């Protein structure tokens, strides 16, 4: 039997009060139908308008999922002599934070091409394609030409603004390419990489698109895609030199070392190609290897110095591309050293831009299957073996060793090249530790894979208040466009 409410004098009075017009019992601005009461428009017109950003800098930590941020925070703190957990990375001081959903239109776990395209076009697309919509058939030139998306880089230059692109990966790699290029396949970085059956159909390789685009500076690795075989490059014509063609067209400077970058004229466009492929890992630089390459902070400094005086403002994309590559190799130390340098570059931008006119966004394109596990004691070496707290209890102490009696590292991977064969009968060896160690993984794969969980977006400056809640990744484009006041 359904219970019924009986009317009482108190209930009748309550119902009568609820039936009154909202204006009679409340100062609420809008009624239940959303209509504006008298005077609301005047009040709204007197409200302060959101500030517009003159400049926007988007920092993308490729593969910098939340677990990577946490580990990088601890690692950076420990490098400074702290316990580590209490350390704060520069962007963690930003007041505005959102969670970002990274999936591609046809993939639950995304790649950098589809995710970077979402951020630079305002539309999600398929895995493995750059600057083209989800209607495209990957690897089909005609399909790519028929389904272009807007490019933020083009829109910036159409408005007479400055444009900078910086990456520690190849400058033709998926994330930097999303600023200026459209391609039915992210791997078409040079014309040699376009399959024979797709050549001659009107599709331009990504390196060619870069030198034929308008921008103020592009700094990164990947010289091989711009030259013929004389540099063991990726051009079909062994004598081709795209950088020389670009310099002749623009009057710009082409540099290949940090010293040349610093000496280049400030009033001309700048193309910096500092390595044949990706730039050298921070952890692997020596006097013989990568010594002439600039750091990400130095490239960021150069970019800001060259763009800051543009009267129309600028857009700058800075990618730490090798965080991702360290994870793919199953070497957390490589990834974390890159993340620390990424944080240094962000700190430089914070210190050398005006927060009243520059929106700084920090995010990742996707995450990795990278985890922090065990019950290590406070301040335990983040790259070391799990050592429990002295007073953590027996269950914590028991979890310090695996069932095979071997220890394990705090950091590890769900899959990757560090997985161990289980059919040899030799048992699991003790894991390696340190910056250059390869962490053990559960599932053997030739390369560790991306992960599908949300990543964080941190924001500071005009328009930063729009970074809140849980958002689709393509809304980062909207945040940028609205901050500029284009809509």
Distance CA 399, CA 376 (A): 10
Whether the predicted pLDDT of 31 surpasses 90: no
pLDDT-above-90 percentage for the chain: 85
- Per-residue pLDDT tens digits for 86-127: 999 999 999 999 999 999 999 999 999 999 999 999 999 999
The predicted structure's pLDDT at residue 21: 39
Q: What percent of the chain has pLDDT over 70?
A: 88
Q: Tell me if residue 447 is catalytic.
A: no
Show the tokens assigned to 357.
Answer: 């006119």
Kindly tell me the sign of the dihedral angle through the C-alpha atoms of 14, 17, 22, 23.
Answer: negative
Helix (H, G, I), strand (E, B) or coil at 458: strand
Q: How many residues does the chain have?
A: 487
Where on the phi/psi map is residue 286: left (φ > 0), alpha (ψ -120 to 50), or beta?
beta
Tokens (6 digits) for 182: 């459209």
- One-character DSSP codes across 297-313: HHHHHHHHHHHTT-TT-
Q: ∠ CA 73-79-82 to the nearest 5 degrees? A: 75
Per the CB < 8 A criterion, the answer to whether 125 and 132 are in contact is yes
Tell me the whole-structure pTM to 2 decimals: 0.90
For residues 196 and 194, what is the distance between their CA atoms, to the nearest angstrom? 6
pLDDT at residue 16 is higher than 70:
no
Mean pLDDT score of the chain: 91
Q: Is 186 exposed, middle or buried (0-12, 13-18, 19+ CB in 10 A)?
A: buried
Counting runs of H as helices and runs of E as strands, what totals does the chain give? 16, 15
Integer Cα distance of 25 and 38 in angstroms = 16
Q: Count the helix, strand and coil residues of the chain and give each as a percent rounded to the nearest 5.
A: 35, 20, 50
Q: What letter does residue 461 receive in the DSSP assignment?
A: S
Domains (range + CATH), the chain? 55-369+449-484 (3.40.720.10)
User: pLDDT confidence of 423, banded at 50, 70, 90?
Assistant: low
- Which residues make beta-bridge pairs with 271? 218, 254
Q: Which of 67, 112, 167, 367 is catalytic?
A: 112
Residue range 346-382, pLDDT digits in tens: 999 999 999 999 999 999 999 999 999 999 999 999 9
């Amino acid at each position: 039997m359904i219970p019924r409410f009986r009317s009482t004098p108190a209930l009748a009075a309550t119902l009568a009060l609820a039936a009154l017009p909202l204006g009679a019992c409340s100062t609420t601005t809008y009624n239940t139908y959303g209509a504006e009461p008298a005077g609301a428009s005047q009040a709204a017109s007197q409200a302060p308008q959101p500030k517009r950003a003159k400049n926007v800098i988007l920092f993308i930590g490729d593969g910098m999922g939340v677990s990577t941020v946490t580990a990088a925070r601890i690692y950076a703190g420990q490098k400074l002599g702290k316990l580590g957990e209490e350390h704060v990375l520069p962007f963690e001081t930003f007041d505005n934070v959102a969670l970002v959903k990274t999936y591609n239109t046809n993939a639950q776990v995304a790649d950098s091409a589809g995710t970077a395209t979402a951020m630079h076009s305002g539309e999600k697309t398929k895995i493995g394609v750059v600057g083209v919509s989800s209607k495209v058939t990957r690897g089909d030139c005609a399909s790519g030409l028929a389904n272009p998306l807007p490019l933020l880089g083009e829109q910036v230059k159409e408005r007479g603004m400055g444009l900078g692109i910086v990456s520690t990966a190849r400058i033709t790699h998926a994330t930097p390419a999303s600023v200026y290029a459209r391609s039915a396949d992210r791997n078409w970085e040079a014309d040699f990489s376009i399959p024979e059956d797709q050549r001659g159909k009107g599709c331009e390789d990504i390196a060619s698109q870069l030198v034929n685009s308008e921008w103020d500076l592009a700094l990164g690795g990947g010289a091989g895609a711009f030259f013929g075989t004389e540099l063991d490059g990726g051009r079909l014509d062994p004598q081709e030199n795209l950088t020389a063609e670009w310099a002749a067209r623009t009057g710009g400077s082409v540099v290949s070392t940090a010293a040349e970058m610093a000496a280049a004229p400030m009033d001309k466009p700048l193309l910096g190609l500092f390595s044949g492929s990706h730039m050298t890992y921070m952890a692997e630089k020596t006097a013989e290897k990568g010594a002439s390459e600039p750091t990400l902070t130095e490239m960021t400094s150069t970019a800001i110095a060259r763009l800051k005086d543009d009267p129309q403002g600028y857009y700058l994309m800075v990618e730490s591309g090798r965080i991702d590559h360290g994870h793919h190799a199953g070497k957390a130390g490589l990834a974390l050293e890159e993340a620390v340098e990424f944080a240094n570059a962000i700190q430089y931008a914070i210190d050398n831009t005006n927060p009243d006119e520059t929106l700084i966004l920090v995010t990742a394109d996707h995450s990795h299957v990278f985890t922090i596990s065990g019950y290590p004691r406070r301040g335990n070496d983040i790259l070391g073996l799990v050592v429990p707290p002295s007073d953590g209890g027996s269950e914590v102490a028991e979890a310090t060793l695996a069932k095979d009696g071997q220890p394990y590292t705090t950091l590890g991977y769900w899959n990757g090249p560090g997985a161990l064969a289980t059919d040899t009968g030799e048992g699991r060896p003790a894991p390696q530790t340190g910056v250059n160690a390869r962490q053990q993984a559960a599932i053997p794969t030739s390369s560790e894979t991306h992960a599908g969980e949300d990543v964080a977006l941190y924001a500071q400056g005009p328009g930063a208040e729009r970074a809140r809640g849980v958002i689709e990744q393509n809304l980062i484009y909207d945040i940028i466009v609205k901050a500029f006041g284009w809509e």
